[in-house]
Amino acid sequence: MVAPVLEVRHLKRDYVSGGGFLRPAKIVHAVKDVNFVLEKGKTLAVVGESGCGKSTLARMITLIDPATSGEILIDGLPVDSHHVTKEMRQKVQIVFQNPYGSLNPRQKIGDVLAEPLLLNTGMNAAERRDKAMAMLIKVGLGPEHFNRYPHMFSGGQRQRIAIARALMLNPSFLVLDEPVSALDLSVQAQILNLLKDLQDEFGLTYVFISHDLSVVRYIADEVMVMYFGDVVEHGSRDAVFGNPQHSYTRTLFAATPKSDVDSIKARLAKKVALAG
């Protein structure tokens, strides 16, 4: 039996807040006893409002922050979050909400893509260039973009570059932290379609962090809803959207504007018609 790509067991993260002379510190339970299993080629969406703990969870499973307690297993291997090996870090990559903030403005795009290969593999310069060029094309950009700088690209193009860089080391899974929320509606649809196409072609595994349930409905296989650090609902996309069990999930549905791919297209068509 093949091990899950990612398994999380009783994961918790506490922070100490405040405290001082004659005043005890307060412990904030940012993530409380989270459990899930993610199979290869699937997408788990983690949703909830700001402050619910989803980004804290993302930082733990990307091995940026250690857990207070609990276990993380990647490809069946336990992770020591206080002493993460180089090999284990290569297994997980993250794509952030703001792609420009994660790109070095002084590096050409070709160098941005090739850098992970330079630091982590024995590839020579020609091999690194060839793989970087192939990945650039795979995410919908062209050879003419290889020697350009980040400021020369649109927001959507930068996110394509960030996705390409995250895939350079063939990670076990990607964490996508609000990857389309900063983009225009039409560009959101393009990036979502790109993520689906790449997943189908390479069998990619995603943890998709979002506050937007409509986008999640398009991309996810499973949905996990968080509220003040707790998982209040977890199930298949169809089960959660078809019959949400928790009152908080139902509140999110009512409060979230429709921004799935079909809704985006309809709103754009309406905008064009009004302009005409």
Other Cβ atoms less than 10 A from the Cβ of 1: the count is 4
Domain boundary residue, one of 169, 186, 201? 169
Name every residue whose Cβ is closer than 8 Å to that of residue 67 and which is 6 or more positions away in sequence.
11, 12, 13, 31, 60, 81
In the prediction, which pLDDT does 268 show? 60
- DSSP tag of 4: P
Domain boundary among 134, 150, 169: 169
- With respect to residue 1, please indicate whether it lies within any of the assigned structural domains: no
* Lowest mean per-residue pLDDT among 140-154, 164-178, 181-195: 181-195
Q: What is the pLDDT of residue 50?
A: 87
pLDDT in tens, 209-260: 998 888 899 999 999 999 999 999 999 999 999 999 999 988 888 776 555 5
Residues 152, 262, single domain; the answer is no
pLDDT at residue 254, rounded to an integer: 79
d(CA 7, CA 39): 9
| pLDDT band per the 50, 70, 90 thresholds, residue 46 | very high
pLDDT(267) > 70: no
- Would you place residue 262 in the very low, low, confident or very high pLDDT band (cuts 50, 70, 90)? low
Report the half-sphere exposure of 8 (CA within 13 A, side-chain side): 22
What is the average per-residue pLDDT within 73-85? 91
How many structural domains are present in the chain? 2
User: 159 and 207: one domain?
Assistant: no
Q: In the prediction, which pLDDT does 184 show?
A: 87
Residues 113 and 185 in one domain: no
| Contacts of residue 99, Cβ cutoff 8 Å, sequence gap at least 6 | 155, 158, 159, 161, 162
Same domain? For 121 and 255 the reply is no
CATH of the domain at 237: 3.40.50.300
Query: Do 187 and 76 belong to one domain?
Result: yes
pLDDT value for 263: 60
Query: Residue 130 sits in which domain range?
Result: 100-169
265 pLDDT exceeds 70? no
Which amino acid appears at position 241 of this protein? F
- 115 lies in some domain: yes
Percentage of residues in the chain having pLDDT higher than 90:
73
Do 46 and 176 have their domain in common? yes
Q: Examine the pLDDT at 276 and tell me if it is beyond 70.
A: no
In this structure, are 197 and 70 located in the same domain? Answer: yes
Question: Does 158 lie in the same domain as 123?
Answer: yes
- In a domain, residue 245? The reply is yes
Same domain, 191 and 263: yes
Is the per-residue pLDDT at 52 higher than 70?
A: yes
**Percentage of the residues of the chain whose pLDDT score is greater than 70:** 91
Same domain, 15 and 79: yes
Q: What angle do helix axes 155-167 and 125-138 make, rounded to 10 degrees?
A: 130
Residue 144, pLDDT above cutoff 90 = yes
Quote the pLDDT of residue 100: 76
More confident site: 254 or 271:
254
The answer to the question of residue 25 being in a domain is yes
* 65: confidence class by pLDDT, cuts 50, 70, 90: very high
Same domain, 187 and 85: yes
pLDDT at 62 over 90: yes
Strands 6-17 and 26-38: antiparallel
